[in-house]
Structure 1
Amino acid sequence: MPLDLHIGILELSTQINVWTHKFYTFACNWLMPLGLVILLMGLTVLPERSLYHKLFYVTIAAPTLLALLLRSRSSKAIWLNPVIITFLLFSAWALLSVNWSDTDQAFSSLLKRPLYILMLFAACALMALHNHERLAQSTLLAALLMLPITLYCLADFISSQTLDGRLVGTGALDNPLLSSHIFGFFCALWLALSMTLPARQGLPALIAAAVMGAAVLATGSRTPLLATAMTCAWLIVACWNKRAIWLMLSGAAALVALVLIHPETLSSRGLSYRPELWIKTLSKVAEQPWHGFGFDAHLAIFLADMPTYGFSEPHSFALGVLYYTGIIGLIIWLAMHALALFQCWKHKGNFMFIVCGALLVYGIGAGLTEGGGILSRPKEHWLVTWIPLALIAALSIRTQQAQSTRS
């Protein structure tokens, strides 16, 4: 090979490496963190969901995929994380179940859904590996931006509400129950921060949690109240200090006050057909208990009181997993959450794990009586399912890397 050609190839290779490093750094430091902020609170400010999806593709999905291809060696730790491994197993089983599903969607379309979620896992992990502060900063920035938005929503709701009104919110939000996932997520986040930050910062965080809690109450949704109670229980056990005792007493006092002042919050609308929906779903599951009806299978649940309306969700994430992927899929799903929660408990000396554990516990509580779709494009349900799991996986990967470096 001529010397000039050899030198030219070396220079080109060096230049490509420089460009690759610059893109990787830019993506991890700016694009992905921006994407995470948009993912967390974008629905409250963006005019339509299609734009929300497009921004996710541009700031998280595409840059993360390219970064993984460019830095395949440095991303090996991502694929060894137990939470991500179980997610891959669950996704593989869900995609396999398409073979016996009556879905009318093309397989290529269904394949994109777990791929989007995988890119979320990978993006959080890459941020944690490259610059772990970006992950915390992005989440905190979204929480701070949500405060004025929530205050505006509450002010607008109070000034225009009717007797039976329920807060929906701004932007692309269009359903009070789904809106409660967003407000509840940030309520749990601020509540966890109030328990783990130093005293001077803990009080402002507690006030922020109260603001988000007021928005949750204004949505009229009761599932977030149960989820918040579960979050408080996690924080009390994980932290167990003077603040935990105060949280326990404050939670009991808040519940008593709610029952005495506004009991309709808990008793209105009855059980919203939940028991009937669950019984009907379980009766269908009994027909194909082990492998389910398949990913994206048709589901229509008709109730005696509403014979002409078919519910397309069982209003329970666990039952949704059971219906679509059977007992096998549910076991993997539960294992994924159990592994994530175990990581939080194992590393509870790190306050970030306590915070992310609170988000996961809140999501588990919120999913008890809401949801049903197992794999979807970005929407409100991600805040109570995939985002907490992705944050925990990223923290676990970062912690393992730090331990390996010290040893």
Structure 2
Amino acid sequence: MQRDETREVRSSMQLEESKMSVMRGQRFHLQTDLPRWVGGWLLLGMWWLLVGLAASPVGSKVWNPGKPYHDSLIVLFMAPALWWVWKRRGEFGRRLISGVDGRLLLVFLAWAGLSATWSNYGHAGDMVFNAVYILLFVVVWAAVVAGNPQWFRELLFWAAIGLALVALGAVTIFPSRVLHTLSWQEEGRVVAFGALDNPNLAAFAYGAAIVWLAQSAVRERWKHVVQILSLIVMAVFVVLTYCRSAWLAILVAQACMLIATRHGHVKLRAFAILVVSVAAVAFGGWRYVEERGMSYRPQIFEQAKAWIRAHPWRGLGEGSHYTIQVADQTWTHSHNVFTHTAIMVGIPGMLVWVALWIVVGWRGWLFRHLTTGRCLLALWVFATVAFQFDAPELMQKPSVEWFLGWLPVAMSMGLSWSIRDSQRDRGTEVRA
């Protein structure tokens, strides 16, 4: 009897070990990892992360229009995301440290969080929270890319459609709106709502949506019609923001995709966008660019270099406040992600970020034959150009620059996990 009981215990232990080993290598799947209602809740939160930037109501504080948006994300995104990460914490941790991009991400976030302890901001806890928020965003979106790629592509598609509807509403009611900054209205520069109540930020957000939607492949005819109409609406919106850096970023991204992709429908859309853009520049856009000149960017860059030379190794510390002044203009950032990052976390921290960014771009190039890879490559090119002129802050709560930096990282990591899963299933090794 004792032998039989011992055998039963051993067999049950072996069964549990077998289950655990399967769990270690199991793909991420929303429909199997979480209850259906939690998975749907998370997808809604992910959709709102993108669309809510433009569609969220404006807060009571004039200079904090995104507060209702950030508060809503705690319930719509953070709660279900934390549930998923906690449930599969072992698998998330193993995958995160198994790839070069994951290790670079951890090093950068750890250094940025540590640097907050010597910043002049005085609230290091806020910076640590932002670092955790970024890590949660990247791994959860990467898991959806790896485990539910079709759902991810649908998510991007419908997020772009939602943004297009907001753009249509913003353009329609713009003449009758009362903006917080009347100069934008006097200049005729269109803005959206909520966190995009600014023409430059709105142009970057909608420019990003244009480049990823232009790479999306849809089969249903009605979806194709919706896609084209949405691209037209968002293009008109971006033109009316009069944001030259967004115009340039879209042009470079579409030119890159015209060369890089082998898919006829993608080439056709890229060519059409380029032709329309060149025509717009030829018939008035170029004169507008000449009138506004360089907007002090060379002088800003020189002062940014001075800040970097003054604190080359540790930086000022993440979250620190500094000012750049040219003539009668004063700014609180360097209008460039790379110089701003170097000012905050020093040259070593900036180099870690650059290494991570290069890995992301290279993976987009390697997998440009896939829809997600094309979206990644186009978004990476767009963000790289935009980062040279504005959108400097990466280490904060969700915002336009936040998404331009961390969404490509999440897509790249998800592609890497997906390819590794496929190679493991076939019993071969992968380099991704």
**TM-score, normalization: structure 1?**
0.85
Q: Where in structure 2 are there 5+ consecutive unaligned residues?
A: 1-11, 21-29, 60-65, 178-183, 428-432
* Matching of residues 224-303 of structure 1 within 5 Å: 224-240=246-262, 244=267, 247-248=270-271, 251=274, 254-303=277-326
Q: For the Cα contact (< 8 Å) 2:255–2:274, is it kept in 1?
A: no
Could you give the per-residue CA deviations for residues 205-225 of structure 1, whole angstroms, max 9, x where no partner exists?
Answer: 344323211111111111101
Residue matched to 2:5: none
Structure 1 residue 129: Cα displacement: 4.4
User: Equivalent of 2:341, from 284, 297, 321?
Assistant: 321
Q: Secondary structure at the match of 2:34?
A: helix
* Matching of residues 160-239 of structure 1 within 5 Å: 164-193=187-216, 205-239=227-261
CA distance in 2, matches of 1:261, 1:109: 45
Structure 1 residue 109: Cα displacement: 1.9
Q: For the Cα contact (< 8 Å) 1:29–1:131, is it kept in 2?
A: no
Structure 1 residue 317: Cα displacement: 0.6
Could you give the per-residue CA deviations for residues 82-117 of structure 1, whole angstroms, max 9, x where no partner exists?
Answer: 323211111111122234322221x22210001111
Cα distance change on mapping 1:72 and 1:284 into 2, 3 Å: closer
Q: For the Cα contact (< 8 Å) 2:42–2:77, is it kept in 1?
A: yes
Cα distance change on mapping 1:33 and 1:118 into 2, 3 Å: same
Cα distance change on mapping 1:26 and 1:111 into 2, 3 Å: farther
Could you give the per-residue CA deviations for residues 176-215 of structure 1, whole angstroms, max 9, x where no partner exists?
Answer: 111112211111122222xx55696667534432321111
Does 2:150 match 1:128? no
Structure 1 residue 345: Cα displacement: 1.4
CA distance in 1, matches of 2:234, 2:247: 12
Q: Secondary structure at the match of 1:286?
A: helix
Structure 1 residue 302: Cα displacement: 1.8
CA distance in 2, matches of 1:245, 1:130: 30
- The 10-residue stretch of structure 1 (379-388 or 327-336) with the greater mean CA deviation from structure 2: 379-388
Q: For the Cα contact (< 8 Å) 1:285–1:323, is it kept in 2?
A: yes
User: Equivalent of 2:40, from 22, 27, 30?
Assistant: 30
Report the residue type matching 1:88 in the other structure: L
CA distance in 2, matches of 1:58, 1:109: 19
Structure 1 residue 231: Cα displacement: 0.8
- The 10-residue stretch of structure 1 (358-367 or 206-215) with the greater mean CA deviation from structure 2: 206-215
Residue matched to 2:118: 100
Report the residue type matching 2:233 in the other structure: V
Cα distance change on mapping 1:252 and 1:128 into 2, 3 Å: closer
Q: For the Cα contact (< 8 Å) 1:222–1:265, is it kept in 2?
A: no
Report the residue type matching 1:38 in the other structure: W
- The 10-residue stretch of structure 1 (216-225 or 366-375) with the greater mean CA deviation from structure 2: 366-375
Could you give the per-residue CA deviations for residues 314-346 of structure 1, whole angstroms, max 9, x where no partner exists?
Answer: 011111111111221121111111111111111
Q: Where in structure 1 are there 5+ consecutive unaligned residues?
A: 1-9
Could you give the per-residue CA deviations for residues 49-100 of structure 1, whole angstroms, max 9, x where no partner exists?
Answer: 2221122222322322232222223323244233232111111111222343
User: Equivalent of 2:132, from 115, 118, 127?
Assistant: 115
Report the residue type matching 2:67 in the other structure: S
Q: Secondary structure at the match of 1:218?
A: helix
Cα distance change on mapping 1:28 and 1:369 into 2, 3 Å: farther
Residue matched to 1:312: 332
Does 2:107 match 1:89? yes
Residue matched to 1:334: 354
Residue matched to 1:7: none
Q: Secondary structure at the match of 2:325?
A: strand
User: Equivalent of 1:62, from 51, 57, 79?
Assistant: 79
Could you give the per-residue CA deviations for residues 264-314 of structure 1, whole angstroms, max 9, x where no partner exists?
Answer: 4423332222221111111121112233222112211122233xxx31110
Q: For the Cα contact (< 8 Å) 2:44–2:76, is it kept in 1?
A: yes
Q: For the Cα contact (< 8 Å) 1:154–1:215, is it kept in 2?
A: yes
Does 2:154 match 1:154? no
CA distance in 1, matches of 2:67, 2:36: 25
Report the residue type matching 1:121 in the other structure: V
Q: Secondary structure at the match of 2:396?
A: coil
Q: For the Cα contact (< 8 Å) 2:316–2:343, is it kept in 1?
A: yes
Cα distance change on mapping 1:272 and 1:66 into 2, 3 Å: same
User: Equivalent of 1:356, from 360, 376, 390?
Assistant: 376
Could you give the per-residue CA deviations for residues 218-245 of structure 1, whole angstroms, max 9, x where no partner exists?
Answer: 1111110111122113212321465537
Q: Secondary structure at the match of 1:268?
A: helix
CA distance in 2, matches of 1:205, 1:321: 36
CA distance in 2, matches of 1:345, 1:26: 35
Q: For the Cα contact (< 8 Å) 1:29–1:134, is it kept in 2?
A: no
Cα distance change on mapping 1:245 and 1:188 into 2, 3 Å: closer
Give the aligned CA root-mean-square deviation in angstroms.
Answer: 2.9
Q: For the Cα contact (< 8 Å) 2:394–2:405, is it kept in 1?
A: no
Residue matched to 1:74: 91
Report the residue type matching 1:93 in the other structure: W
Q: Secondary structure at the match of 1:394?
A: helix
Could you give the per-residue CA deviations for residues 115-161 of structure 1, whole angstroms, max 9, x where no partner exists?
Answer: 11111112112323443332222222211222222222222236779
Report the residue type matching 2:424 in the other structure: S
Report the residue type matching 2:121 in the other structure: T
Q: For the Cα contact (< 8 Å) 2:190–2:241, is it kept in 1?
A: yes
CA distance in 2, matches of 1:197, 1:68: 31
Structure 1 residue 22: Cα displacement: 7.8
- The 10-residue stretch of structure 1 (312-321 or 257-266) with the greater mean CA deviation from structure 2: 257-266
Cα distance change on mapping 1:133 and 1:246 into 2, 3 Å: closer
